[in-house]
């Protein structure tokens, strides 16, 4: 039996286990363990591998960023930053038809910049913005659809936990991944705002128009969001900015790990200063961070065990050779992979999708000629994969963000949310087509700064 066939059988068994509701970390780990046992002919081999693999996986200093950014997001969720962002955005956009829905997109983008989690962004902004839209007569479809879509901005706009994990898996520079995500993230927010504008013109009853807020009041509410801009600016700007003009070349203020620590401490100090982060809330945030970090680390370990099995079978290399021998156009192969992400989005969460597919897809992408350097190809593919994973979070019938919003408003039928999110899925697909056709859009900041 060839290594590729063995890997395909193991992959099918793993997907079957996921369907049976086996945790994805356990499904990947057991598949890798028993696959390695089969290839090497002894249970001692995978056991010996586990002895060192666990340490090697978790000793990666880049992983320290994950719990820090998660804790930063927990602090941001509990310190009223989301409400301040929404108030400012609604004062600036509310006088337009559908303006509160547009404001929700802007607030999701701002909150995603200090949260880094799609599910947390959707849940937090849903609790803040959904009652406001419903009280103003917005349709249930538009209200829930725009919040489910806006929540996905948390996964793309840096700092993003998934971007960090992808960079570690693909052995890419975390800072470059963050920079590559900024323009696609801004395009996503603009696309969602334009989608709302079109939606309310085709269905005038779906959104209302608020009274115009005086300029003085607008500036006051915008000023109230200064912690978000300061923390995001120093956290992200600190890892890319040229802070030492006496030396040639860019001199970053922070390493990524230091930036994560700074953002976490700054967000926590803001919560303490505003008396919104007491001991009880602090320990709740730490506990949630510990739970989420443990889940991510366990999934990552399972992915590494699976990756070791795939390396023994040489399946990724054989798959790459087979794709090259078929003479498929590179864009055709890329389109098939992106379609797989859309399908997987109906089965599992975003982190599991990335960790499951990168060891298989990335070696294939690396041998295809897109007219880019190997590093640029890996960065560009990572952003595309992340965007399509993001689309999977809002793709009916089982997109994760749809259920998060439904939990916030259980009285709204899920079918209404499906109708409301469909135009935003179309916006995302148009954006994917644009970024596939013009890789320079994604890579412009990376090329400019590095």
**Would you give the DSSP letter of residue 204?**
G
Task: Please report the pLDDT score of residue 242 as a whole number.
Answer: 52
- Rounded distance, CA 227 to CA 137, Å? 31
Confirm if 197 and 102 have CB atoms less than 8 A apart.
yes
Q: Where are the alpha helices (DSSP H) in 94-225?
A: 99-115, 118-135, 140-151, 153-156, 161-170, 174-202, 215-223
CA dihedral 321, 18, 334, 366 (to 10 degrees): -50
Q: Which residue has the tokens 């607008």?
A: 218
Domain that holds residue 235: 63-293+316-449
Residue with tokens 């079978």: 313
Answer yes or no: is 311 within a domain.
Answer: no
Would you say residue 53 lies in a domain? no
Q: Is the pTM of this model over 0.75?
A: yes
pLDDT tier at 430 (50, 70, 90 boundaries)?
A: very high
pLDDT tens digits for 148-175?
888 888 778 887 888 888 888 888 888 8
Whole-angstrom Cα distance, residue 156 to residue 48?
37
Considering the domain boundaries, does residue 10 fall inside one?
no
Structural domain contains residue 359:
yes
Please give the pLDDT value at position 245.
42
- Of 331, 215, 267, nearest to 68 (Cα)? 267
Residue 302 is assigned to a structural domain of this protein:
no
Give the integer Cα–Cα distance in Å for 103 and 93.
Answer: 6
> 282 Cβ partners below 8 Å, 6+ apart?
268
Q: Which residues contact 107 (CB under 8 A, 6 or more apart)?
A: 82, 85, 86, 88, 89, 125, 128, 129, 150
Give the model's confidence band at 346: pLDDT under 50 very low, under 70 low, under 90 confident, else very high: low
Mean pLDDT of the chain: 84
* Domain membership flag for residue 32: no
In this structure, is residue 44 part of a structural domain? no
The answer to whether position 256 is within a domain reads yes
pLDDT in tens, 93-115: 888 888 888 988 988 888 887 77
- Domains identified in the chain, total number: 1
């Amino acid at each position: 039996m060839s290594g590729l066939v063995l890997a395909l059988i193991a992959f099918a068994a793993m997907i079957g286990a996921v369907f049976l509701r086996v945790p994805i970390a356990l499904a990947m780990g057991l598949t890798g363990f028993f696959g390695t046992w089969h290839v090497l002919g002894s249970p001692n081999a995978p056991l010996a591998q586990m002895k060192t693999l666990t340490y090697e996986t978790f000793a990666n200093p880049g992983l320290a960023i994950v719990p820090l950014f998660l804790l930063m997001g927990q602090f941001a969720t509990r310190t009223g930053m989301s409400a301040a962002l929404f108030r400012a955005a609604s004062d600036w956009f509310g006088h337009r038809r559908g303006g509160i829905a547009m404001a929700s997109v802007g607030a999701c983008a701002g909150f995603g910049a200090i949260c880094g989690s799609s599910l947390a962004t959707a849940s937090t902004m849903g609790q803040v913005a959904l009652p406001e839209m419903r009280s103003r007569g917005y349709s249930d479809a538009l209200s829930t659809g725009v919040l489910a879509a806006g929540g996905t901005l948390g996964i793309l706009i840096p700092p993003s936990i998934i971007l960090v994990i992808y960079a570690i898996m693909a052995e890419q520079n975390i800072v470059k991944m963050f920079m590559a995500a900024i323009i696609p993230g801004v395009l996503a927010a603009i696309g969602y705002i334009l989608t709302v504008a079109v939606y309310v013109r085709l269905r005038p009853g779906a959104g209302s128009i608020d009274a115009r807020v005086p300029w003085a009041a607008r500036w006051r509410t915008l000023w109230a969001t200064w912690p978000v801009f300061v923390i995001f600016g120093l956290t992200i700007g600190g890892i890319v900015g040229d802070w030492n003009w006496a030396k040639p070349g860019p001199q970053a203020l922070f390493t990524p790990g230091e930036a994560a620590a700074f953002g976490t401490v700054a967000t926590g100090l803001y919560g303490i200063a505003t008396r919104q982060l007491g001991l009880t809330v602090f320990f709740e945030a730490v506990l949630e961070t510990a739970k989420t970090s443990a889940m991510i680390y366990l999934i990552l370990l399972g992915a590494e065990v699976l990756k070791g099995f795939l390396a023994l079978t040489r399946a990724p290399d054989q798959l790459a050779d087979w794709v090259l021998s078929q003479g498929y156009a590179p864009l055709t192969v890329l389109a098939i992979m992106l379609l797989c992400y859309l399908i997987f989005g109906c089965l599992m969460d975003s982190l599991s999708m990335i960790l499951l597919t990168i060891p298989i897809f990335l070696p294939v992408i690396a041998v295809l000629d897109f007219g880019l350097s190997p590093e640029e190809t890996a960065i560009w593919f990572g952003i595309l994969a992340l965007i399509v994973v993001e689309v999977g979070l809002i793709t009916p019938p089982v997109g994760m963000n749809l259920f998060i919003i439904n939990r916030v408003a259980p009285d709204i039928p899920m079918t209404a949310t499906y109708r409301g999110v469909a135009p935003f899925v179309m916006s995302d697909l148009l954006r994917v087509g644009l970024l596939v056709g013009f890789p320079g859009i994604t890579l412009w900041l990376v090329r400019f700064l590095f």
